Amino acid sequence: MDMTPKTMRNEKLGAKVVKALESRHFGAYYCATKEEGLKKALELIPEGSTVAWGGCMTAQQIGLMDAIHSGGYRLIDRDAALPEEKAAVMRQALLADCFIAGANAISEDGEIVNVDGNGNRVAAIAYGPERVIIVAGINKVARDLDSAVVRARTVAAPINKQRFGGTAPCLKTGSCGNCKTEDCICCQILTTRVCRPAGRIQVVLIGEELGF
């Protein structure tokens, strides 16, 4: 890979964030490219595992979701469930061997911020699945925890909301209106500041701009 000022900076910042995540007992890996990120994520998911996921646009972008669907895993797939079974499948996901998720922001000192509507993703990150794989692009890194929360709430959420209908103000304006609408996707805000048990959450940080 040709080194540019951007890739050089990303590599240095990635190394700093990996060290910070490790100090908080997360497993953490910097991968310069999507391809390297996919390889690393697959190494972390043993074949035969039950696998579930939520809020994982970046995992999709690196090809991880395709690989999971065509590999030797037992999937807990709410998208394949009948409408009346979806809620039960989402609850089953909390008992998966492995849960794949994204991050809305990661502070340079290693705290991970996620914002959810239903709360299924933040629930799984906090407790339940034996292992959590977080796949995130370097664009998710924010200067500190305050900036990470601001990023999650004012950048990631208004973009994410565009995929859904509803009445939340960000749908019209593109800017967070700090709403309390029934279709609000910012009902739960999780900061994971230390990983316990150690190594339960593995972060694959990719040196490309991915997700939102």
Binding residues for ligand SF4 (CB under 6 A) = 157-158, 161, 168-170, 176-179, 184-186
Report, in Å, the least distance between residue 184 CB and ligand SF4.
4
The smaller minimum CB distance to ligand SF4, of residues 23 and 173, is found at 173
**43 Cβ neighbours under 8 A, 6+ residues apart:** none
The smaller minimum CB distance to ligand SF4, of residues 52 and 184, is found at 184
The smaller minimum CB distance to ligand SF4, of residues 71 and 177, is found at 177
Judged on CB neighbours under 10 Å (0-12, 13-18, 19+), 161 is buried
Helical spans, DSSP H, in the chain? 5-23, 34-43, 57-61, 64-70, 86-92, 120-126, 145-151, 157-161, 169-173
The smaller minimum CB distance to ligand SF4, of residues 8 and 187, is found at 187
Q: Three-class SS of residue 72?
A: coil
- Please tell me whether the peptide bond between 129 and the residue prior to it is cis, using omega within 30 degrees of 0: no
Distance CA 136, CA 146 (A): 19
The smaller minimum CB distance to ligand SF4, of residues 40 and 151, is found at 151
Distance CA 139, CA 150 (A): 14
Report, in Å, the least distance between residue 186 CB and ligand SF4.
3
Report, in Å, the least distance between residue 115 CB and ligand SF4.
7
Report, in Å, the least distance between residue 105 CB and ligand SF4.
14
Report, in Å, the least distance between residue 151 CB and ligand SF4.
12
The smaller minimum CB distance to ligand SF4, of residues 50 and 191, is found at 191
* Residue 76 · residue 54 · CB < 8 Å: no
Which tokens hold the place of 45? 């998911």
Report, in Å, the least distance between residue 178 CB and ligand SF4.
5
* Residue 211 · residue 57 · CB < 8 Å: yes
